[in-house]
Amino acid sequence: MTLKKPELETFADMRDMLATYGFSDAELSELVDPKLGIITGFADLLAQLEVLRKMDLGATPPASGIAHPEPGS
Amino acid sequence: MTPERVATATIANLTNALQNGGTTASAIAAACLQRAVDLDPVCNAFIEMFSDEAMARAAALDSRPRGGALQGIPFGVKDMIDCKGHRTTAGSAVLHDNIALDDAHVVAALKAAGANCLGKLNLHEFAYGATGENALYGTAVNAHEPSRLAGGSSSGSAAAVAWGLLPFALGTDTGGSVRAPAALNGLVGLKPTYGRLSVRGVVPYCWSLDHVGIITRTVPDAALVLQEIATPDPADPGCIRASTDDYVAAAHGGSDLSGCSVGMPRAFFYENVDAEIRAAAERASAFLESKGATIKDVVLPDMTHTRTVSLTIQMPEALSYHMPRLEERGDLYGADFRAGLALGQNLLAEHYVRAKRMLTVYRAEVDRVFDGVDVLLTPATPAIAPKLGAVTVTTDGLTEPAGNAITRFTSFFNMTGHPAITVPSGLHSSGMPMGVQLVGRQFGEAELLSIAAIIDANPDFNVPSASI
């Protein structure tokens, strides 16, 4: 499946319909048309996440702490 | 000991001078503070100096019988880390009135060891970024070339040590924010295993990836500091309760590497790297081989999606921590950080959980690699410190955002949690420092320090103190 490019209206609707923080339209536009250079495109990120979504991880749980071999630690 | 000598001295040098009567804690503190007053307008390492408090404590320390190795040794902390009675700003206007009610666990441990905190150090706002650029407090600059970045996000921690203002500093490392700036400044940067050090009293950026780290001039100095702060903290549920190894002894363990295997992950970690930095890492490999180590090529997990995985964990966790302050004083946040938080708000819960599951996969795959080798060896960074204001860095044909380049080889090991240390690997032809990264088994800090110390002790890899 090819993902549709996200649109500002979608993000604005989510902001207005869900219990979320009220980022401005200009800030949400950064997700659609990045200018600041830190976020290099939300669409690209979603496309990569779509690849990860299709990986079969079986019953692998989310990571938590790292167990130390010493008993009781 | 002259003030000039204090500026380049290791912790071990200072301890020796204190023990043989060659100096006092007061003289050392005064020299460091005076140098900070003189140079901070240029290097922007400090956010706050504790001048009066530090001098009073130094006088009190001088009146005590000599104690451990850190008694009377000055240090500073990245301003994400609480010092009782002082502001913890995280480099942001958002926390301008955030007075710490207690010391962070790691600060309390250093104070208990007799170390003397001289102040709070600069950073990228809320540790969100590896360039260390900070519009509010100025940008910490590189001691070897002030037209270049110190790197970040623990920019002030690296700059303070490299400019000779402090012999060591603490930082935080969520994607390489201790190791990378240390490497860019010719210093040693250590990130222990995830959970080895308490993060209580440290402003969180991303709980799943945050580590406290240490910046020093030598590997034995890093071992000294780790020995004091790697104490269990029952009040931090993420801090392990296991006893520590003898890190100090490990860092002085000799140079025979017979029976040791060094893994070279050539895919990704040796690609799109400055040719001189790659050659320096190869020389470090050959040197370890000459000491008896076996060098093996190893294959780490596919790195294609690792930055996506990291970002998908970082931003929702950062948003969760910052939500109350966003509601109360959101206009005080920097625009770039707000954009990142907006991204965090628009990821799906399943994206976040899947990314956390990928961490489990990555950890298991790297643990399997350690069935066959004792440490991994990589370049610390793909390029030397970028110029101030650089937006992108191009290395061997690859152009990427400057912050991504700085942490390209370090961030993966925040996801796997393995301990990692960066050590100088010599000077680039540009005159800038280069570094290598060693990565060890989970909780294998002692072995990691022992091997890193061997590279550190070889003058061929030394980076001289910056000429200031």
In chain B, the residue whose alpha carbon lies closest to the alpha carbon of A45 is B308
What are B453's two structure tokens?
Answer: 């110390």
Q: Between the CA of residue B196 and those of A57, B75, B209, B242, B443, what are the distances in Å?
A: 28, 21, 13, 8, 7
- The CATH number of B3-461 is 3.90.1300.10
Partners of residue B446 in chain A, C-beta under 8 Å:
none
The catalytically annotated residue of B177, B198, B411, B450 is B177
Subunit contact A11:B346, Cβ cutoff 8 A? yes
Subunit contact A63:B346, Cβ cutoff 8 A? no
Is A60 within 8 Å of chain B by CB? yes
Going by C-alpha positions, the residue among B193, B208, B184 that lies closest to residue B420 is: B193
Q: Model pTM?
A: 0.97
B153 a catalytic residue: yes
Cβ contacts from A onto B, under 8 A? 115
Ordered by start, the domain boundaries in chain B are 3-461
Nearest to A57 among B194, B357, B401 (CB): B357
Half-sphere CA count of B342, side-chain side, radius 13 A = 30
Q: Between the CA of residue B49 and those of B5, B90, B163, what are the distances in Å?
A: 21, 15, 15
Rounded Cα gap, residues B58 and B52, in angstroms: 10
Phi first, then psi: what are they for B144, rounded to 5°? Answer: -85, -20
Rounded Cα gap, residues B213 and B179, in angstroms: 8
In chain B, the residue whose alpha carbon lies closest to the alpha carbon of A6 is B346
In chain A, the residue whose alpha carbon lies closest to the alpha carbon of B337 is A38
B78 a catalytic residue: yes
In chain A, the residue whose alpha carbon lies closest to the alpha carbon of B304 is A48
Is A2 within 8 Å of chain B by CB? no
What are A3's two structure tokens?
Answer: 């993902």
In chain B, the residue whose alpha carbon lies closest to the alpha carbon of A10 is B346
Listed in order, strand segments (DSSP E) in B251-335 are 261-264, 294-297
The predicted complex's ipTM stands at 0.93
Cβ pair B184, B434 in contact under 8 A: no
Nearest to B195 among A36, A60, A65 (CB): A65
Chain A: give the shortest CA distance to residue B118, in Å. 33
Nearest to A48 among B242, B305, B327 (CB): B305
How many Å separate Cα B189 from the centre of its chain?
4
Cβ pair B45, B163 in contact under 8 A: yes
Is A58 within 8 Å of chain B by CB? no
The catalytically annotated residue of B26, B153, B425, B450 is B153
Partners of residue A61 in chain B, C-beta under 8 Å:
357, 360
Rounded Cα gap, residues B407 and B391, in angstroms: 14
From first to last of its 468 residues, chain B has per-residue pLDDT tens of: 899 999 999 999 999 999 999 999 999 999 999 999 999 999 999 999 999 999 999 999 999 998 999 999 999 999 999 999 999 999 999 999 999 999 999 999 999 999 999 999 999 999 999 999 999 999 999 999 999 999 999 999 999 999 999 999 999 999 999 999 999 999 999 999 999 999 999 999 999 999 999 999 999 999 999 999 999 999 999 999 988 999 999 999 889 999 999 999 999 999 999 999 999 999 999 999 999 999 999 999 999 999 999 999 999 999 999 999 999 999 999 988 999 999 999 999 999 999 999 999 999 999 999 999 999 999 999 999 999 999 999 999 999 999 999 999 999 999 999 999 999 999 999 999 999 999 999 999 999 999 999 999 999 999 999 998
Partners of residue A37 in chain B, C-beta under 8 Å:
336, 391, 401
